[in-house]
């Protein structure tokens, strides 16, 4: 009996304690219940299931591969050299290494942001025409550069190339840079084209809201070179690697103003010099155009034609099906279907970037 009495007394005591706690909680209805403190927990050990998903770098000796689109911006002209701007995707077939490709993206590029490199020959050979050159160059920029969207930089070259104004859409800065130049010295044309093209790779122009920009070099020169460290082929290769299209304007003709013209000037003949052939090669190989103005108004018209072409182009993009990124030059050409008498002006090809070899790990300096 003593054992049972003790058990009953203990049960009564436990019940009393519980009723007292419930009564105290009911007497404070306005107080929010504070959640019980959670015991401190150590973070779970990292496992393959809960570890953050991170891209693993390639092991040493592996190739880091990326799918690269080849983008071609080009112009189409009729037999009268008028721009044709009403073609559709099914009007084009693209060949890479003479093998047809599947076009993935197509658009009419009439409003691409422009990044223009203006290269002025300020060597002694164009001394008498520098003023015309300066005025026409600025007029070109004034009509083509849209503030907030397009940008240009100025490089001059005589004995050495030199950047006079970095990328800007401020036309006042470009005017000051253009008209402050003086002529004198030799000509390093190839170095200028090489360095200007390289700027698009090493010091890329400011980004835009879109993904595509139009990279253009406008070169005003007589095409002669007597001082460059780079060969002509190296300059062309750098332009092709950087995706630059080159337009050239020759200074080898008279560039006479209207008040200087005589009856002997009309009609006139344009004489192509070895330098003109060099300028034409730069333009043809990169998908641009060469101009040989004779009169001052021809010079102005050349800039108008460049402006018109830059607003009248197409863009095609594809993933090459015939090769990997092997670092080699691959020729391309575009054929027009279902329309006759049209021709394409585009770059001759491109260099496929080599895959990146993963670097060897370095020793931990703390050890």
Looking at the fold, whether 238 and 217 belong to one and the same domain comes out as yes
Q: Clarify whether residues 247 and 324 are in a common domain.
A: no
CA–CA distances in Å: residue 71 to residues 111, 235, 331:
16, 21, 13
Average pLDDT over residues 108-126: 89
The domain that holds 300 is classified in CATH as 3.40.50.410
Write down the residue that tokens 């003593």 correspond to: 2
Whether residue 223 sits in one domain with residue 177: yes
Query: CA 92 → CA 75, 98, 216, 333, distances in Å?
Result: 12, 14, 24, 10
d(CA 291, CA 345): 15
Residue 17 lies in a domain: no
User: Does residue 122 lie in a domain region?
Assistant: yes
DSSP letter assigned to residue 274: H
Q: How far is CA 276 from CA 53, 179, 263, 300, 304, in A?
A: 58, 25, 26, 18, 20
Q: How many domains does the chain have?
A: 2
Whether residue 223 lies inside any domain: the answer is yes
On whether both 204 and 346 belong to a single domain, the answer is no
Residue 194 lies inside a defined structural domain of this protein: yes
Q: In the prediction, which pLDDT does 327 show?
A: 81
325 located within any domain: yes
For residue 324, the model assigns a pLDDT of 64
- Same structural domain, 172 and 229: yes
Based on the domain organization, do 73 and 150 belong to the same domain? no
> Per the domain annotation, does 286 fall within a domain?
yes
Per DSSP, the residues of 3-54 read HHHHHHHHHHHHHHHHHHHHHHHHT-TTSPPPPPPPPP-PPPPP-TTTS---
Longest dimension (CA), the chain: 145
Peptide bond into 34 cis (omega under 30): no
Per DSSP bridges, beta strands 151-157 and 343-345 are unpaired
Answer for the pair 202, 242: CB distance below 8 angstroms, yes or no.
no
Same domain assignment for residues 71 and 126: no
Ramachandran sector of residue 53 (left: φ over 0; alpha: ψ -120 to 50; beta: rest): beta
Q: Is the pLDDT of residue 43 over 50?
A: no
The predicted-structure confidence for 183-195, as pLDDT tens digits, reads as follows: 999 999 999 999 9
pTM: 0.74
Give whole-number Cα distances, 82 to 11, 221, 285, 309, 360, in Å: 106, 26, 21, 10, 55
Closest to 241 measured CA to CA, from 353, 343, 147: 353
In a domain, 7, yes or no: no
**Coil vs helix vs strand at 243:** coil
In this model, does residue 74 exceed pLDDT 90? yes
Q: Are residues 67 and 130 in the same domain?
A: no
- pLDDT interval class at 213 (50, 70, 90): confident
CA distance 361 to 367: 14
Q: How many C-beta atoms surround the C-beta of residue 184 within 10 A?
A: 11
Based on the fold, state whether residues 298 and 234 are members of the same structural domain. Answer: yes
Structural domain of 192: 114-258+269-311
Instruction: Say what the pLDDT of residue 27 is.
Output: 45
Residues 292 and 176 in one domain: yes
Domain check: are 321 and 184 in the same one? no
Which uninterrupted H or E stretch holds 201? helix 189-202
Residues 178 and 282 in one domain: yes
104: pLDDT confidence band, cut at 50, 70 and 90? very high
- Tell me how long the chain is: 367
Q: Is residue 176 part of a domain?
A: yes
Q: Is 202 exposed, middle or buried (0-12, 13-18, 19+ CB in 10 A)?
A: exposed
**For residue 227, what pLDDT band results from cuts at 50, 70 and 90?**
very high
């Amino acid at each position: 009996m003593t054992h049972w009495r003790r058990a009953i007394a203990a049960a009564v005591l436990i019940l009393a304690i519980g009723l007292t706690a419930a009564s105290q909680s009911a007497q404070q209805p306005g107080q929010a219940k504070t959640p019980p403190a959670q015991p401190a927990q150590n973070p779970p050990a990292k496992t393959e299931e809960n570890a953050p998903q991170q891209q693993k770098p390639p092991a040493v000796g592996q190739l880091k591969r990326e799918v690269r689109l080849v983008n071609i911006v080009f112009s189409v002209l009729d037999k009268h050299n008028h721009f044709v701007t009403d073609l559709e995707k099914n009007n084009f077939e693209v060949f890479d290494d003479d093998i047809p490709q599947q076009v993935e993206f197509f658009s009419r590029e009439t409003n691409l942001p422009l990044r223009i490199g203006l290269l002025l020959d300020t060597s002694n050979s164009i001394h008498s025409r520098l003023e015309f050159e300066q005025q026409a160059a600025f007029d070109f920029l004034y009509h083509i550069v849209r503030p907030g969207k397009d940008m240009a930089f100025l490089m001059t070259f005589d004995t050495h190339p030199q950047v006079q104004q970095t990328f800007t859409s401020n036309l006042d800065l470009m005017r000051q840079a253009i008209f402050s130049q003086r002529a004198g010295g030799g000509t390093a044309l190839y170095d200028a084209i090489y360095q200007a093209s390289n700027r698009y790779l090493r010091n890329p122009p400011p980004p835009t809201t879109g993904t595509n920009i139009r990279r253009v070099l406008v070169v005003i020169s007589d095409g002669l070179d007597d001082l460059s460290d780079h060969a002509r082929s190296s300059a062309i290769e750098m332009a092709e690697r950087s995706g630059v299209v080159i337009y050239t304007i020759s200074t080898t003709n008279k560039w006479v103003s209207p008040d200087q013209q005589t009856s002997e000037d009309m009609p006139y003949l344009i004489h192509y010099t070895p330098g003109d052939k060099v300028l034409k090669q730069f333009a043809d190989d990169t998908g641009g155009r060469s101009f040989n103005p004779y009169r001052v108004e021809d010079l102005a018209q050349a800039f108008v034609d460049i402006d018109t072409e830059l607003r009248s182009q197409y863009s095609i993009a594809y993933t090459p099906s015939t090769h990997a990124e092997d670092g080699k030059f691959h020729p391309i050409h575009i054929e027009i279907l279902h329309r006759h008498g049209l021709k394409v002006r585009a770059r001759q090809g491109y260099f496929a970037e080599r895959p990146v070899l993963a670097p060897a790990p370095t020793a931990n300096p703390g050890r």
